């Protein structure tokens, strides 16, 4: 029996392109982002995966990415569960700011700490540790049991919410996960054994 989890970060957003902190703000996909989502769907279709259920966040860019993927996999009438537990990390007061402008306001070192430390949140926002503390209980309660039941589960989410999952699934340290880039529109595929252990990890593009 297949027990498979596919993670996909949303395609490039308008604010990714503009170098803005996005967080829980809701910009759409760029033309490139749409192309990335379409390509991911076609790639998964070529693998012949039969998706049991899909999960995504409460944010439009992840939902749109998932819709485009399913459309290009020729999948209709799919169960899609949307939950803000899978939302991007909340950047608080940084949301909507250009990253270069933020460095001018708070300094290169401070912005680097907010972006790349595991447990130091920006003002009014979340650290990666905070993000993991909402993503992982949701994964354990809702997604992991579905994987254990068999089949293929697809999750379309965000760079940092997926980092939290990757950290757990690959047993990475806080230092290791902070160095891990999650590319837009590139599926990461995990296979599991009957005991819930990851037996294989594949990054496909």
Catalytic entry in 10, 36, 126, 158 = 10
Instruction: Return the closest-CA partner of residue 2 out of 190, 202, 183, 201.
Output: 190
Pairs from 131-134 (Cβ < 8 Å, separation ≥ 24): 131/89, 131/90, 131/160, 131/161, 131/163, 131/164, 132/164, 132/167, 132/168, 134/85
d(CA 119, CA 129): 5
Catalytic: 158? no
Catalytic: 10? yes
Catalytic entry in 36, 88, 126, 158 = 88
Query: Alpha helices, DSSP H only, in the chain?
Result: 14-17, 31-47, 60-72, 99-106, 108-116, 128-138, 144-148, 159-169, 174-178
The b/e string for 175-203 (b: 16+ C-beta within 10 A; e otherwise) is eebeeeebebbbbbbbbbeeeeeeeeeee
Structure tokens at 138: 């949701």
User: Are 82 and 56 spatial neighbours (Cβ–Cβ below 8 Å)?
Assistant: yes
Q: If DSSP codes are grouped into helix, strand and coil, which group holds residue 135?
A: helix
* Residue length of the chain: 205
Active site amino acids: 10, 88
């Amino acid at each position: 029996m297949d027990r498979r989890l596919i993670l996909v970060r949303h395609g490039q957003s308008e604010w990714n392109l503009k170098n803005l902190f996005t967080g829980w703000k809701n910009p759409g996909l760029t033309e490139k982002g749409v192309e990335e989502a379409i390509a991911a769907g076609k790639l998964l279709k070529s693998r012949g995966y039969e998706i049991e259920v899909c999960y995504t966040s409460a944010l439009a860019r992840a939902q749109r990415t998932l819709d485009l993927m399913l459309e290009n996999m020729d999948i209709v009438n799919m169960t899609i569960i949307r939950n803000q537990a899978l939302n991007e990390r909340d950047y608080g007061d940084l949301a909507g700011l250009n990253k270069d402008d933020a460095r001018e306001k708070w300094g290169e070192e401070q912005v680097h700490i907010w972006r790349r430390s595991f447990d130091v949140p920006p003002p009014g926002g979340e650290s990666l540790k905070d993000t993991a503390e909402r993503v992982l209980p949701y994964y354990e309660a809702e997604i992991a049991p579905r994987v254990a039941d068999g089949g293929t589960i697809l999750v379309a989410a965000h760079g940092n919410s997926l980092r939290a999952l990757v950290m757990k699934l690959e047993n990475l340290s806080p230092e290791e996960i902070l160095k891990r880039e999650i590319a837009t529109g590139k599926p990461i595929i995990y296979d599991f054994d009957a005991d819930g252990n990851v037996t294989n990890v594949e990054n496909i593009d």
